[in-house]
Amino acid sequence: MPMIDVYATPGRFSDPSGLASTLATTLMEVEGVPPIPLFKQNTAAFVHEGALANVNGDHDHVRVQVLTNAGALDRDKQLVAVRRLTEVIVEAAGDSTLAERTWVLLTETYDGAWGIAGHANTNEELVALARAQLGG
């Protein structure tokens, strides 16, 4: 149930809401989780538009920050996530050169720090919630 934050200059994306939904869906696919309400309602992306620049003053970069629960992405999934999320950004911007200027940062919270509905869930608790929705 990752949270995704995208940072870009204003106007970079013509449909920020559509981009957010596509990024969330893409990451669920990469994780390989079932499309149950727990995951669909708690996997989200936020598109933030504002000023940004690197040391050279270039402002044509995009940063994608992904936060997952501990251990959600093994190395193979990390590689796929970075590639696929970059592809989504490039397509949404309509700029094939943007891949070179897209930073995807994968981070994870520690076990017990994934808060939903006022409760800090452990990975074990998240698995139990998912199993309950799957009927098992």
What is the rounded average pLDDT of the residues 12-34?
96
Question: For residues 135 and 16, what is the distance between their CA atoms, to the nearest angstrom?
Answer: 35
**The predicted structure's pLDDT at residue 136:** 67
3-109 maps to CATH 3.30.429.10? yes
Rounded to two decimals, what is the model's pTM? 0.92
Can you give the residue ranges of every domain in the chain? Answer: 3-109
Share of the chain above pLDDT 90, in %: 72
Tokens of 64: 């994608």
Residue 110 Cα distances to 11, 28, 93, angstroms: 35, 20, 33
Which run of H or E residues covers position 124?
Answer: helix 123-134
**The predicted structure's pLDDT at residue 42:** 87
Give the single-character DSSP code of 110: P
pLDDT band of 1, cuts 50, 70, 90: confident
**The predicted structure's pLDDT at residue 135:** 86
**The predicted structure's pLDDT at residue 26:** 97
